[in-house]
Structure formats: structure tokens, C-alpha cells
Structure 1
Amino acid sequence: MAKYSNRRGFIRKVGLSTAAATVVGSSFASDKKTVNYLKRVKVNNIADDLNIALIGAGGMGTEDTNTALRHEGIKLVAVCDLYEGRRQQAKKKWGQDIFTTDNYKEILKRKDVDAVIIGTPDHWHKQISIDALNAGKHAYCEKPMVHSVDEGLDLIAAWRKSGKVYQVGSQGMSSLGNEKAKALLAEGAIGDLNYAEGFWARHSPTGAWQYRIPDDASEKTVSWKKYISNTTKRPFDAMRFFRWRNYQDYGTGMSGDLFVHLFSSLHFITNSKGPNQVSAMGGLRYWKDGREVPDVLLGMFQYPKTEAHPDFNLSLRCNFVDGTSGSTYLKLVGSEGSMDVKWREVVLKRNKSFSSDDAFAKAKASESETGYTGRKKMLPPEEIVYKAETDYKGAHYDHFGNFFRAIRTGGTVAEDPVFGFRAAAPALLCNDSYRQNDFINWDPENMKIVK
């Protein structure tokens, strides 16, 4: 039987980390927890200047661009968006000399564009990505990489043929938290993985995709026919343009927006290629504003045994009705402990155990405290906290750093189209399972549905 953990190796390594650790009190009077501070090792970039263009200047595209421009040697030369107001805003924000257009193909024809950021609604990800790669551009595409499972292999083929760098924008992939969790799991910190769970909640109206609709929204300011040219033809509808995540023709629901982050992190930490069985249920509980996707979604997934990990189960939950928490986490549970993983922090909890030499002392303590021999005490787990240092620039910054480094050095990125599709597919299959009210079998190795 394959072994997936190394308990002794972990104990040796965590012992070496105490010089950089701080011991603080916990909620248990007699218990202590250790806090370790994570630091990004500085890597000297090759300072070749790179020109980038943005295709899709909405909220996430704008955030991506602002983050990219924090890096040395990056210049924005062009912006494409189907809404005139965003094109005007781009010039105010990033300079009047920036070229703007509502036709992304004009961007791809420009010889001064080295790489594009694709921040469009999901139904345009595949086509713009393939066109960009065919035009010789490197590409950073927001997650999920594709709008439906049947689009994934075509994009992978285009990427392999192009020889260009393509990175999917699940920025948590490059976080210190994920990197530390990956190392801890490999060192045997929680033993053999048997279960994982993730949760994502948003409680604000904007977090429920209630994006602002501009007062001037009309067919005069929005290139509506371009927007719907690859999907169902409809009269102009500002809701479907500015709140596109609520509609199946353009978005991928809660799972495509949020589950895909959790899949990306889990697959990175465990070296997994994905589940072989997907099921989901949920409902539209609160946001009855004409949207077509649920605001509560639960997913269950079966991960098969591989050389990288034992078989385990995953459960994911997403809630847009939550009025209080707005919390996000990924938990990995193993035979000897668990990890709560966030992008800036990992909390490791390990089961306490006694060696054989402690058996007599434990029995005597139990007898004196409880009045009879044999009753076990309830012990809190050992807890070690790993936190990013205060000057950490964040996962989003590092994700773009990895993208630009790969372009400049001819290197690779972890979240390439193969990885990106293996994270997107189970998220997209959640939607299919929910709508079909059925289990779906998936081949994570060959990336196809099993009939």
C-alpha cells in the first residue's frame, strides 16, 4: 500500500522552524499554540519591458490590470470593452494615450501588445483565448477558463500549438497559504488525507452579483449585438449585460465563480487531477430578481486513489443568503490532524498522543481527576499557525509575478490550461448535476465525461 505522508519527517522539520516562531496563549489555559510567519523569497525578475492590453474592463479586469501594473516594466497600451463608459474611464484611469476599442480583434492585431488580460464574461473566454494564442499573444484569463466542459480541450490544443504562456486567474494558486499547505501535506503534517471541505459566503448586495447598472445603459452605449453574437439572440437587456453572472448564457453560477477557486487550491495542495464523481443540489432561496442560477449550492465529490494521494471525499458549500459571515475557507482533514487554509494563513491542528512511556502517568492522572481508572481525558489538539508577514503583497500580486516571470524567462506556470481546465470542469459539472438532478461521472486524467 502506498504511503502518502511522513510523520517523522514533519516532526523534524517543524522542530527546525521554532527559531522563527512565537509561542502565544490559546483558549485553553494549559495549551499553547505556535505562530510562524511566512515570507516570500525575493526573486530577481528579468526587467524586460512588457506591453499588456486589457480585454473586458469590468470589476475583475480592472483589478487585474491595477495589480499587473504594480510590477516593474509593465505598460498598458490598449483596452477593449463593449461599454463606452468603461472605455472612457480607462483613459481617465490609465492615460489618454491608451488605445480603446469595442472590438478585441483590433487589440490582437497590434504588434506592440505582448500579452492580454481577458476579464470578459465567461461565455467569451474560450474564443478570445484561442484567438489571442493564435495571434501570438501570451494570455492571462480570468477563471473559470471556459464556459462549458466541451470547450476545454479545444483551448488546451490551441495553447499547446502556440508555445505561449497562458495562465488562469485563480490568484490563490500563488498564495503563501497554499504553498505552505502543500509543503505541510507532503511532510505528513496531517497524516493521510481522507476528507476536505470548503465554504464561501457573501453577505453584501454586490457580493450577490448586484452590480451597478449605469444610468446611460442602452444600445447606444453598449455593443449589445457583439455581446450576444455567440449565444442566444435577445433584445437589449441591461441586467443581462451588467449583471451577467446571474444568467446561464454568460456566466457559470456560484460554482464557476467561487467553487473553482477552492478546486484550484485543493488540486495544487494535493497534486490531484480532480474528482471522478460530481453531485450538487441547491436552490434559489432569496435573490428572486430574475436570475437563473441558485444562491445556495452544495457540492459533493469523490476523489479516486492515485499515486499522488489516497482516495478522499470533498464537500463544498456556497451561500449568497448569508447575512453575517462572508467567510471563506478550505479545510483538509487527515488521519493525524487537519489544516484550515486561507491565502494568507494556515492553521494546523494535530491530534495529541501519548507514547508508551506515558501510559502509567496518564492512567494515574485520569484516576485522580475523575475518581475512577480508565476514563480518557478530552485534550485540545496541538495548534500551529502560519501567517504571512505584514509586508506580504498578496496572492494576486504574486500570481501576476509568476505570469510575467514565465514570459520573460521562457518558463511555465502552475495554472496552465490543463490545470485550469481540471479545476473548472468539476465546478461546471456542478451546474449540470444541479440542473439534471443526477450524479455525473468524470475522467480527471483524460478530462472527459464518462457516460
Structure 2
Amino acid sequence: MKNHRRKFLKHLGLAGAAAAVTPSVLAGNHNHGKDSTVSYLSRAEHGFGDKTLKLALIGAGGMGVADMKTALRHENVEIVAVCDLYDGRLDDARERWGDHLFLTRDYREVLKRRDVDAVIIGTPDHWHKQISIDALNAGKHAYCEKPMVHSVGEGHELINTWKKSGLVYMVGSQGLSSLGNEKARQLLAEGAIGDINYAEGFWARHSPLGAWQYAIPDDASEKTVDWKRYLSNTTKRPFDPLRFFRWRNYLDYGTGMSGDLFVHLFSSLHFVTNSYGPEKIAATGGLRYWKDGREVPDVLLGIFDYPETERHPAFNLSLRCNFVDGTSGSTYLKIVGNKGAMEITWDDVVLKRDNHVDDDPFLKEKSREAGGYNGRKKILPPTETVYKAEKGYKGAHYDHFANFFRAIRQGGTVVEDPVFGFRAAAPALLCNDSYARNEYIKWDPVNMKVV
């Protein structure tokens, strides 16, 4: 398996994804042999030039606003326009960012503007593909929330449009740019846990907000919501504020737990392991608590087979998501190898390594003596090294946008372009198909197509 590691290290050294965002973390201290060692991950500041980038927000809901707030923390970035289908969000945008904003319900009006360099797309999932393609065709760089498409069949059209455009397109699985993921990638490549054979991810929530029970404004009506435009690319229905404001619960607009949360875990895993994705997908689950008319489960389990490639050995993955977790929820990614394991979050990595030695005293003849023998070694627990982000770390979301802006200004690449984004989104979206059909689905992760 050493060949996998050589290939991995080669990719680690050459990949624009890592080189664009990770130079400071790669020099980190990692004392594998010491028990309970703590090492601090760091992030250096970089300048991006004096040109002011002018941004527009398309979709000003919770995640869109969070994206724009993070983007505006960077120097030489300003917001000039906002588009949303609910008037209340446009009013909020004016109050939050100023009267100078161009406000509209029609995203095409934003794309016509010459003062817009890039757009942030934070709409419901069923609009991601079309707005992304229209933005690229209009000459705008784009940052689109995950998943970048609503269905697997939309992926190649968007990828092809991006390749022809020559523009920068970033998918918003922001954890990719975390210090935790970057350190885990390095440790795996260096052999800290040996050869990977298993991974698991878990994402749990408990609060109504976390379970997509978003608030419904008192003034929600067809006067304040452009319901006709919202449905213009999907099934026509009478006005229903739940389907607009709690859109993640419905398959016409959202992609369920897998499209919302599994895709984050796939993105992180693929970055850490340098993988293209699984070849076999299965999912099960059910609606256990949030019986509010939603069309998607609130508990979802997925299992996946990853084939042996030049990049990594074969391994298995299990993912779990629970919206009724009475412990208040937790999130992690764990990668297991034949010499140890890593528990990974965006802000830290816990590395555990086996303390086994080849000259095990139990294999010696002397070990059979009733009283043992002088100098006999003790049983030891696994060593543990903890890597934590330094105080003042601005976070993965900030760094994801740093990567996006750097690529625009310097003509570089991003950590999550449409090819990477689709390879993370597709197996997540296929979980919905597996769940609905109650069957395995085979996926070609190299050519990115259902087999």
C-alpha cells in the first residue's frame, strides 16, 4: 500500500486545492509518539490586492445572508445588489447593508449589471443549476451553496458551462477549507494512521431551527412572495408558505438530509483522502418525529463502498444523520486505518495510534512463567495527539471565501470547483434515490455517472 501513499503525497504537493489554502498548516508540529500531545494549527494572513470586488447576493435567506456577512469580512469586498423572492428579505437587506443596494425579485436583472463581479447563490436547491449557468454565461464568477445541483442529471451541464467560461466557480461546502480537514489530509498522506479501511460521519440536530422548522413571516402571501417565479421550473401548486419558507422539507425544492448535510461529510472525506467517491450507495431511514407534512426522513443512514484506486486503498464509509437527537447533536468525521484513527472537526483533529510493538512479550517463552519476569512491558493505551486551531482562527467559512477571492484576483484555482463539488453532491443525492427505491445504486465516480 506504500504506492497509494506516494501517489497521495504527490497529489498533496501539486494540487491547487491544497496549495491555495494550506501552506501554513503543513508545517505544523505532530509528535505522534507522545501521549495526549496538543499541537496548535495556524493560518497565516495573505494579501489579495487592491481591486475591490463587487458582489451580488441571489437568495437572501439564512445561509445566503451568512455567506454574504462572511464575504464582507474580507478587505476590498463590497455588496451592490440583492435578489430575493420575498419582499421582507429585500427590506432586511437594505436595512442591513444600505440604501445604495439594487434590489430585485428577478436574478436576471442582477446578472445584467456591469458593476457585479461575482454572485453568491443562496437559493433553494432547485434553482442552483440554472442560476449558476446563467451567471457564468453572463461573465460573473459564482459562489454557490451546496449541493450545486438539485439532481444528478444536472451535473454535467453545469460542469461543461463552467469549463467553457474560464471563470471561478466555488461550491459552498465551507468545511473543506478548515484547518482540521487540511491537517487530517496531511496526516493521512504521511501514514499517521496507516492504510485507510473505514470511515464514518455523523451529523445530528435537535432544535426546531436545525430540523428546518424555519419561521413563517406574518405577512407571507402572494403579494409579498413571488410564488409564480419560485415554481416556474417545477410543479405548479397553490400558494403554500411552508413550501417556500421551509423548502428543505420538500423534494421539489430541497434535497433532504443527504443534500443538506451528507454532502458536507462527503466533501471533507474526499478532500482528506483525495478520493473521487464511492462506487456503491445504499440508504435507509425514516420519519421518526417531525411529522409535519415533510416528504423526507428525519433519520437517515447511508453505507458506501469506495474502490481501490491509485489514490487510496479500498474502504467502507457509513454516514448517519439524526434530527431528533436528545443529546443536542454532534458532528464529526472519523477515518480509521490499520495503525490508528483520526476524529476530525473543522477546528481540530484527534489522532490516536496503536502502541503495539512487534516484540510482544506474550510471544516469548518467559511470559509463561507464573510470576512473569523483570522488565516485562505494560499494556499501554493508544497514543493521542490533539491538534487545535490557534486562538483567533477566523474559521473555515472565512477561509473558503479567501480561497474564492484569491482565485478571482490571481487567476488561480479553488478547493471546491464544480467537478469536486459534483463528486461530493452526487453520492449524497443518490442516497435519496436509494432510500425511495429501497435498493443499492452503482455510481462511476471517475466519469461521474450512474452505472
Is the pair's TM-score, using the shorter chain for normalization, greater than 0.5? yes
Measured against aligned partners, the alpha-carbon deviations of 1:345-386 in whole angstroms (never above 9, x if no partner) come to 000000002253x7499987x779x9569x996531000000
Structure 1 partner of 2:12: none
How far apart in 2 are the matches of 1:81 and 1:53? 11
Q: Which residue of 1 aligns with 2:4?
A: 4
Q: C-alpha separation between the residues in 2 aligned to 1:332 and 1:258?
A: 18
In 2, distance between residues paired with 1:2 and 1:21?
A: 22
The question of whether the paired residues in 2 share the 8 Å contact of 1:21 and 1:37 is answered with: no
Paired residue type of 1:222: V
Question: In structure 1, what is the equivalent of residue 414 of structure 2?
Answer: 413
Equivalent in the alignment of 1:258: 261
C-alpha spacing 1:231/1:363, structure 2 compared with 1 (3 Å): farther
Question: What letter is aligned with 1:302?
Answer: D
Aligned with 2:210: secondary structure?
helix
Q: Which amino acid in the other structure matches residue 171 of structure 2?
A: V
Q: Is the 8 A contact 1:177 1:345 kept in 2?
A: yes
Equivalence map 1:147-166=2 (5 Å): 147-166=150-169
- Within 5 Å, give how 1:170-319 maps onto structure 2: 170-319=173-322
Residue type matched to 2:98 in 1? G
- Distance across 2 between alignment mates of 1:64 and 1:430: 27
Match of 1:43 among 42, 46, 61: 46
Alpha-carbon distance in structure 2 between the residues aligned to 1:378 and 1:83: 63
**Is residue 22–residue 35 contact of structure 1 (8 Å, CA) maintained in 2?**
no
Partner Cα separation in structure 2 for residue 22 and residue 205 of structure 1 = 41
Alignment equivalent of 2:87, drawn from 64, 84, 88: 84
Please, which runs of 5 or more residues in structure 1 have no aligned partner? 10-15, 24-30
Aligned equivalents of 1:404 and 1:418: distance in 2? 19
- Which amino acid counterpart does residue 442 of structure 2 have in structure 1? N
The code of the aligned residue for 2:426 comes to A
Q: Are 1:4 and 1:310, in contact at CA under 8 Å, matched by a contact in 2?
A: yes
Q: Note closer, same or farther for the CA distance 1:360–1:151 as it changes in structure 2 (3 Å cut).
A: closer
Q: CA deviation at 1:42?
A: 2.4
Contact kept, 8 Å, 1:5 with 1:189, in 2: the verdict is no
Cα distance between partner residues in 1 of 2:437 and 2:329: 29
User: 1:325-364 residue pairs with structure 2 within 5 A?
Assistant: 325-356=328-359, 359=361
Unaligned stretches of 5+ residues in structure 2: 10-26
8 Å CA contact retained: 2:299, 2:322: yes
Distance 2:104 2:289 in 1: 38
SS at match of 1:208: coil
Contact 2:361 2:377 in 1 (8 A): no
CA offsets, 1:204-229, max 9 Å, x none? 11000000000000001000000000
Matched, 1:427 2:428: yes
Contact 2:31 / 2:385 at 8 angstroms: preserved in 1? Answer: no
After superposition, the C-alpha distances for 1:150-197 in whole angstroms (9 at most, x for unaligned) are: 000000000001100000000001000000000000000000000000
Is 1:53 matched with 2:56? yes
Contact 1:145 1:424 in 2 (8 A): yes
The 1-side partners of 2:65 and 2:368 are apart by 65
Local SS of the residue matching 2:4: coil
3-state SS of 1:273 partner:
coil
AA at the equivalent of 1:406: A
Indicate conservation of the 8 Å contact 1:116/1:140, yes or no. yes
State the distance in 1 between where 2:72 and 2:100 align: 16
> Does structure 2 retain, via aligned residues, the 8 Å contact 1:22–1:36?
no
Q: Deviations over 1:27-74 (max 9, x none)?
A: xxxx93100000012222223110000000000000000000000000
Aligned pair in 2 of structure 1 residues 226, 307: CA closer, same or farther (>3 Å)? Answer: same
CA distance in 2, matches of 1:376, 1:316: 39
Distance 1:402 1:300 in 2: 32
- Contact conserved, 2:32 with 2:384, CA < 8 A, in 1? no
Instruction: Please state how far the C-alpha of 1:17 moved relative to its aligned partner.
Output: 6.1
Figure out how many residues of one structure are paired with residues of the other and give that number. 430
| 2-structure distance, mates of 1:44, 1:112 | 23
Q: Percent identity?
A: 71
Q: 1:127 and 2:130 equivalent?
A: yes
Equivalent AA in structure 1 for residue 3 of structure 2:
K
Matching of residues 347-426 of structure 1 within 5 Å: 347-356=350-359, 359=361, 378-426=379-427
Does structure 2 conserve the Cα–Cα contact (< 8 Å) formed by 1:118 and 1:141?
yes
Over residues 85-105 of structure 1, what are the superposed CA-to-partner deviations in whole Å (9 max), with x where a residue is unaligned?
A: 000000000001111000000
How far apart, in 1, do the equivalents of 2:191 and 2:87 lie? 54
Aligned residue for 2:3, secondary structure, equals coil
C-alpha deviation, 1:3, in angstroms? 3.1
Normalising by structure 2, what TM-score?
0.91
Structure 1 residues 295 and 256: alpha-carbon distance in aligned structure 2, compared to 1, 3 A threshold: same
- Alpha carbons 2:59, 2:121 under 8 Å: kept: yes
Structure 1 range deviating more: 377-386 or 52-61: 377-386
How far does residue 393 in structure 1 lie from its aligned partner after superposition? 0.2
Structure 1 residues 277-300: Cα deviation after superposition (integer angstroms, max 9, x where no partner): 100000001000000000000000
Contact 2:28 2:41 in 1 (8 A): no
Contact residue 4 and residue 188 of structure 1 kept, 8 A: no
Please tell me whether the aligned partners of residues 176 and 344 of structure 1 are also in contact (alpha carbons under 8 angstroms): yes
Q: SS of 1:4's equivalent?
A: helix
Distance 1:376 1:236, change over 3 A: farther
Alignment partner, residue 12 of structure 1: none
User: Which letter does structure 2 place at the counterpart of 1:395?
Assistant: A
Partner AA of 2:81 in structure 1:
A
Q: Secondary structure of 2:170's match?
A: strand
Q: Report the CA distance between 1:2 and its aligned residue.
A: 5.3
TM-score (norm 1): 0.91
AA aligned opposite 2:242: M
Q: Distance in 2 between matches of 1:38 and 1:362?
A: 43
Deviation digits for residues 257-288 of structure 1 (CA, Å, limit 9, x no counterpart): 00000000000011100000100000001000
